[in-house]
Amino acid sequence: LSGFIETLRGHARDDPEARERFLGVMAGQAERMSRLIHDLMSLSRIELNEHIPPCGGLDLTACVRDVADSLTPIAAAKEIRIEIAGEPTPMTGDRDQILQVAQNLIENALKYSPTGGVVRVEVDSGQPAVTQRGGDTGYRHLLEPSSNRSARYATLRVSDAGPGMTRDVLPRLTERFYRAPGQKSGATSGTGLGLAIVKHIVNRHGGGLFVESAPGAGTSFAAYFPQ
């Protein structure tokens, strides 16, 4: 930013076109830094309380619908339809953190979906299952549940029809600041912390997280929480 400021103080001072261009770049960089600081602070707070099990009650489907409503302007800008399927699904959890999981996963799907596409969000109760997208589909458990595996789970699955990913990158998706090679997210780039935040929240809830993806066939993330 300092370079742009110096330019605006110098030869661009009397050039309206250059001034507007530089101000636009500066605004974008400032917004990105703000998002990065927000995500770093969120991750720090989550890690601080990760050892404390949540004790509140909530309806996962209602949380998902609230998040989808808040993301309507972003979806509308790309003419993307968010489809939600699910009955009321009670679970124990920290509502604010569950909202953040839903927001990060749905925002991610919107970011990588093509214009005019569909993001499918499913909520159900039972045992999480792999969707099986085809022979080239990669499947990876990014986090194993810490609770009894025979328990019932409230599962949130978010699927997009984006470019998809190869198997070899899947294990690294929850690393901080990692970006899969060749992934294009449009004009707005993320901070690289969204999936790391999701993983830590799911871990605090004793749940699990897995991803399915294949080049050209989109990506599906599923977070599941003990009920």
When comparing pLDDT for 193 and 20, which is higher? 193
Of 9-13, 86-90, 149-153, 169-173, the least confident: 9-13
pTM for this model (two decimals): 0.78
Q: pLDDT band for position 42 (50/70/90)?
A: confident
When comparing pLDDT for 26 and 72, which is higher? 72
Write phi, then psi, for 210 (nearest 5 degrees). -140, 165
Q: pLDDT band for position 66 (50/70/90)?
A: very high
Domain 55-226 indexed as CATH 3.40.250.10: no
| pLDDT value for 212 | 94
Question: For 190-216, what is the mean pLDDT?
Answer: 90
Residues 193 and 212: their CA atoms lie apart, in Å, by 19
| pLDDT value for 184 | 55
Q: Could you report the per-residue pLDDT of 82-134, keeping only the tens digit for each?
A: 999 999 999 999 999 999 999 999 999 999 999 999 999 999 988 766 555 54
Question: For 185-195, what is the mean pLDDT?
Answer: 67
Which pair of tokens denotes residue 73? Answer: 């302007």
Residues 45 and 15: their CA atoms lie apart, in Å, by 45
Question: For 190-210, what is the mean pLDDT?
Answer: 89
Q: In the predicted model, is pLDDT for residue 58 greater than 80? A: yes
